[in-house]
Amino acid sequence: MVCRDPRWGRCYESYSEDTRLVQLMTSSMVTGLQGDVPSKHPKGVPFVGGSKKVAGCAKHFVGDGGTQRGINENNTVLSFHDLMRIHMPPYDNAVIKGISTVMISYSSFNGVKMHENKFLITDTLKNKMYFRGFVITDWQAVDRITNPPHKHYYHSIEETIHAGIDMVMIPDDYPEFVADVVKQVKAGQIRLDRVNDAVSRILRVKFTMGLFEDPLPDPRLAKELGSKEHRAIAREAVRKSLVLLKNSKKGQKEGMLPLSKNAKKVLVAGSHAHDLGNQCGGWTIKWQGESGNNLTGAGTTILEAIKKAVSKNTTVDYVERPDKDDLAKGAGEYDYAVVAVGEPPYAETAGDNQNLTIPSPGPEVIKDVCGLVKCVVLVVSGRPLVVQPYVEYMDALVAAWLPGTEGQGVADVLFGDYGFTGKLPRTWFKSVDQLPMNYGNKRYDPLFPFGFGITTKAVGHN
């Protein structure tokens, strides 16, 4: 998916607003999941390279990142040319890499529900792009074609299967679905060759996965989940993905970062400084995720990472919401402050946000702390948020995104064990009135442009 509007609640599931970047990441992801396709492998034929690989799914086909006002499951209004130019290329890359399955989007394209769009599913994806894996619906999607859901269900089944759907996700009343399909096949409403095509595609993927020879997964791989090796890779991903957006106030010659490990006293503040749930975001253990430190188990918060990074002689004060008057009295004691603010966890429609403001008391914490103490602000979020009104208060600003459980990766770059190398994969706007605004638009006036990021050098390794 190519997210073209950060107001969309699934934007953090997209690699970028830029089609080319999404193409590159898609190819790498499919290869990582399924293995590298052999030379001369037929385009579109699924490939899974052994028992330690899995079948991948490219989703959500197609254009769900371009819905109007970033509203989930909404209508994408584009010319066919722009759909093919912006949103389709990553799917072509996935097909070339042997993707096994493609999931259809809840959204519509120019008013036509994607689950009923035969032209895009069958004529384009299957026939023109040569996709030979199977097409699957999203969760309960056949019901949700109509409003209210499940209205004209019998007709919706016929339309989706004729459109090219091969497998249907049905969470509840599957006997009704089975009975309706059988009835329509017997009545000739659903052609038998369409059923045979769907079955052959599903069996093809199963054969590619080796399920006929060995239908059970290898349980030995489960012990590797959450291993030291996995966490080391996750920590590396954190430090490479953080983006330094500002490193000094106007007139200052030296940048604030990297921070000194030998400071006498530092302040850590903000709702996201000591919260693994906020660091991980949605789709973490639970569908919507959950704030707090009780959900994910093992992990390192940003506060814990800072405490591990600094000298044993450094005093680290943590106050989530400092009192302004108390802070004014003791501000001179602090060498610097780290303020971590951002979004609560969310997934899908729950994350749709027409304002994209930092939730209170985040803005107040920024102004109160950074107005009195030299500070770096970490924005922990799945997308750019409104920060322009507060940038003047900050000495340094970092887009920390959703760093997950390995908060030590944040400290790695804050304290200079590694340099900042990350670049913005999407435009950081000034105000939501500018949205949607993407790289290449005629009226492009961002706070920080696509591809921006200040680089720093490492000052030494621990």
Q: Which residues are catalytic?
A: 138, 348
3-state secondary structure of 246: strand
List the one residue out of 60, 62, 56 whose CA is nearest residue 94.
Answer: 56
- Residue 214 sits at φ, ψ, to 5 deg, of -145, 90
Convert 420-453 into a string of H (helix), E (strand) and C (coil): CCCCCCCCECCCHHHCCCCCCCCCCCCCECCCCC
Q: For strand 101-104 and strand 57-61, is the pairing parallel, antiparallel, or unpaired?
A: parallel
243 membership: H or E segment, kind and range: strand 243-246
How far is Cα of residue 397 from the mean position of the Cα atoms in its chain? 21
Contacts of 199 (CB under 8 A, 6+ apart): none
Terminal Cα-to-Cα distance of the chain (whole angstroms): 39
Task: Say which amino acid occupies 456.
Answer: T
Paired residues of 229 in beta bridges: none
β pairing state of 375-380 and 396-401: parallel
**What is the per-residue DSSP string for 250-281?**
TT-SS-SPSPPTT-SEEEEESTTTT-HHHHH-
Answer for the pair 214, 52: CB distance below 8 angstroms, yes or no: no
CA distances from 112 to 136, 148, 350 (A): 18, 16, 24
CA dist 247 and 268 (Å) reads 18
Residue ranges of alpha helices (H) inside 137-173 are 153-163
* β 134-136/101-104 pair status: parallel
> Residue 414: which region, alpha, beta or left (left: phi > 0; alpha: psi -120 to 50)?
alpha
The beta strand positions in 74-129, using DSSP E, are 75-76, 101-104, 108-109, 112-113
**What is the distance between the alpha carbons of residues 289 and 307, in angstroms, rounded to a whole number?**
26
